[in-house]
Amino acid sequence: MKNKFIKSTLILILGGLITKILAMVIKIFLTRSVGDAGIGLYMLVLPTFNLFITLCTLSLSTAISNLVAKKQSGKKVILPLIPISLLYNFGLMIILILFAPYIANNLLNNSLAYYPIMGISFTLPFICISNILKGYFYGKENMMPYVVSNILEQLVRLFLIIFLIPNLLEFGVNIAILGVVLINVVSEFSSIICLILFIPDKKINFNDFKFCKESFKDVLNVSLSATGSRLIGSISYFLEPIILTFILTSIGYSNDYIVFEYGVIGGYVFPLLLIPSFFTMAISTSLLPVISNNYARGNYNYTKRKLKQAISFSLGIGVFFTLIFMIFPKELLHFIYNTNFGDNYVKFVAPFFLLHYIQGPLTSYMQAVNQAKEAMIGTLVGAIIKNILLLILPIFIGIWGFVIASIVNIIYVTIQHVYYVKKSFKLN
């Protein structure tokens, strides 16, 4: 078990490193193609994209991983979910298409966001099916298919961004960003094909897709609890540009200024600071089935030891990167994004992201030991605090109010998670 955990983590770290390098190359080509205006528009649309990804996936990968790790049949868990998930996602597509004009024109106050938001709807079924298949391999602790599919997905995305986006810019920045969104259809489809090729048992018949009430109930019990935290975070992220735009325009800031500064922080600063997260995500993904399996067997000391190990790794990686971010912010921003904007934000925010780097292992542990509800409450309260601060702080300190609100959210959620994890230690 120990060797399998270490092997899975190392595979995910290596795969995550390759994927992150590819993502960085994609970001370089994207920022150079669409410029600051394009990145600003993309960041304005991204919270809506993130919200509907959360709604379309419903944390099914987490639920499937848990159930398969507990030795339930992978085929009986995932196949009956596919037709239900597709039907549900087609419903989400219709809702998003109907509300796209209102979201763009009334909530985001930017008509250019209309086509990219429409484009999001077509990506949802592909993202959902890919998520379901990845959950199966998480549960089997077989991380190679996940890594290979992710690398393929990024390569497809990179190829299309290099050759497609510059041509779409001739039709306007909104059409180019629509293209960036729709590229996910092709990249996710390639990931699905790749994952299917890795499935060991390919003997599937029509009866395997029939609705199974017991299996569906088991999946929902885990997925809805896990989705709570993600959904709250996604709704908070969705409201973020809406509240910020409303407050800043109300006190006299121009829409162009808001889109530019929000694009710098959300498109350059935060993604830079999130670079170490591929290590912490790899650790967290490997941790979930290990803790879930051992906790169910009553191996509490082993689960505690694995969590402490995961936090130590995450924190060590975080400290190393934080020092680099604080010493070379201008150089990194210029090298990766070809921009000279945002270094002041990077220096200020970087130390607080140390807490963010350990949130992944803490959340995985809480989900595995049936504390998903407590994790959800922490995320909910953190989101409420953040949005209240977004309503107040920008009035006094402008765009810096958004930065401070984000930092307070990270601090609160991490402290709350630590409290409940310690409480779990005492109970067991």
How far is residue 238 CA from its own chain's centroid?
13
The DSSP secondary-structure symbol of 170 reads: G
Are 209 and 80 spatial neighbours (Cβ–Cβ below 8 Å)?
yes
pLDDT tens per residue, range 104-121: 999 988 899 999 999 999
pLDDT at 212: 64
How many structural domains compose the chain? 1
pLDDT tens per residue, range 265-316: 988 999 899 888 877 777 776 666 677 777 767 777 878 888 888 888 888 9
pLDDT higher than 90, residue 425: no
pLDDT higher than 70, residue 207: no
Four-CA torsion 18, 22, 28, 30, nearest 10 degrees: -150
Q: Which residue has the tokens 């990766």?
A: 336
CA distance 148 to 251: 49
pLDDT higher than 60, residue 394: yes
pLDDT higher than 90, residue 147: no
pLDDT higher than 60, residue 2: no
Domain extent, residue 399, equals: 2-427
Q: How far is CA 407 from CA 125, 210, 303, 401, 403, in A?
A: 34, 47, 30, 10, 6
Backbone region of residue 252 per phi and psi (left: phi > 0; alpha: psi in -120 to 50; beta: other values):
left
pLDDT tens per residue, range 340-364: 889 999 999 999 999 999 988 888 8
pLDDT higher than 70, residue 14: yes
pLDDT higher than 60, residue 208: no
Q: Which residue has the tokens 């002041």?
A: 344
pLDDT at 412: 96
pLDDT tens per residue, range 16-75: 778 878 888 888 889 888 888 899 999 999 999 999 998 998 877 777 777 776 655 566
pTM more than 0.85: no
